[in-house]
Amino acid sequence: MKSAPANPASGILLVDKPQGITSHDVVARARKSVGTRKVGHAGTLDPMATGLLILGVNSATRLLTYIVGLDKQYTATIRLGVATTTDDAEGEPLAGGPAEALTAVTDDAIIAGAAGFTGTILQRPSSVSAIKVDGRRAYALAREGAPVELAPRSVTVSAFDVLAIRRSEWIDVDVRVDCSSGTYIRALARDLGDLLGVGGHLTALRRTRIGPFRVDAAVGLEEPLAERMLAPAAVAASLHPRLDLTTQEAVDLAHGKRIALAGAGTRAAVAPDGRLVGLVEAVDGKAVVLVNFPPDPTAPSRIETQGEQT
């Protein structure tokens, strides 16, 4: 019989990932800090990237499915004048456009070029993405030297704003991007460089927002993470309208019974004691449980119960 985890408390962690480590490294450190192996994340960041990584602990990992597909915001730096094999600074340089072509690129052309990649667009992912090709990750095939050509996919870029332009041997462009899940900022850097005829790649990337969650509210890995978990009910209520249950309704839902529920859409069903019972939706006037959240084996301790993050 398996023993209970050292820390059975469930919650969501907003972590500010530092540069130079993988998302898996962050999960490993969180497992040690929190005291349980049941930790997952809602969307990876490359080692080069920094910023918001959302972790689920114990039963709160069930919420990650509802977080991973949310829209995202990034700040980034694009270097115009040279392309790379990986579309970012970790790849080998490729030939860019002629020096006179770079000199001819105006600020207005850069701003207009970025604006042209907004809306719903077809984007060809980088060959070093995590997309699977015949059961294998594209980046693994690319590192082995195998040709990788990924099909374009539809993504939505709500904003591609130029924040600053700095000129030296290259042109470095600081940008802010609001986009749908699945958008590759490296590909935007590559495509902007191609559009301007000079090549381009990403030199810095920071994720600043996932849905309603912002990096300003995130914690560093050096902090005691077990003390900084957000209560599942608060997180669920920031994603869906909150449904406050009576004590009996909470018991009934936990036992698989359907309670009366009017209206439509997903709700975060919360017990009188503040515990998240489940995510439900109304079908024919009854609440159907989409996912339930069993109570922790012992009462959660030192979990933040503040309202939703914005």
Taking CA 157 as the corner, what is the angle to CA 154 and CA 161, rounded to the nearest 5 degrees? 155
The partner residues of 56 in beta bridges, in order of sequence, read 12, 40
Q: HSE of 1 in the Cβ direction (CA atoms, 13 Å)?
A: 2
Judge contact between 96 and 102, C-beta under 8 A.
Answer: yes
Say if strands 213-214 and 200-210 run parallel, antiparallel, or are unpaired: antiparallel
Which of the residues are catalytic?
Answer: 46
Helix H, strand E, coil C: the string for 216-271 is HHCECCCCCHHHCCECHHHHHHHHCCEEECCHHHHHHHHCCCCCECCCCCEEEEEC
Yes or no: say if 245 and 270 are a contact pair by the CB < 8 Å rule. Answer: yes
